[in-house]
Amino acid sequence: MTGKGTTPEYVMNYLLSENGLTASDVDLQFKSEATEVASILKEDSAAIGVLPQPLQLPPAFRTRI
């Protein structure tokens, strides 16, 4: 995900806590560009990412995310 110390990290921490997890329970990786995150999501079907708006995703991603 992008945005270490900003909204995406806060959202992820909230989602984790709502599911009984903490950041230490998962492998959080911060990238400098949203396109890097999108590329990882495309390559790794087990990956989960938080992307900022208004990143436009290709149609293949829209049904998966």
Collect contacts of 8-12 with beta carbons under 8 A, ≥24 apart: 8/50, 8/51, 8/52, 11/50, 12/50
* pLDDT tens for each residue of 28-47: 999 998 889 888 988 998 88
Of the listed ranges 14-23, 30-39, 44-53, the least confidently predicted one is 44-53
Q: Which residue has the higher pLDDT, 59 or 38?
A: 38
- In one-letter notation, the amino acid at residue 38 is A
Q: Is 29 left (phi over 0), alpha (psi -120 to 50) or beta?
A: beta
State percent of the chain over pLDDT 70. 82
Q: What global pTM score does this model have? A: 0.67
**Residue whose token pair is 């829209």:** 62
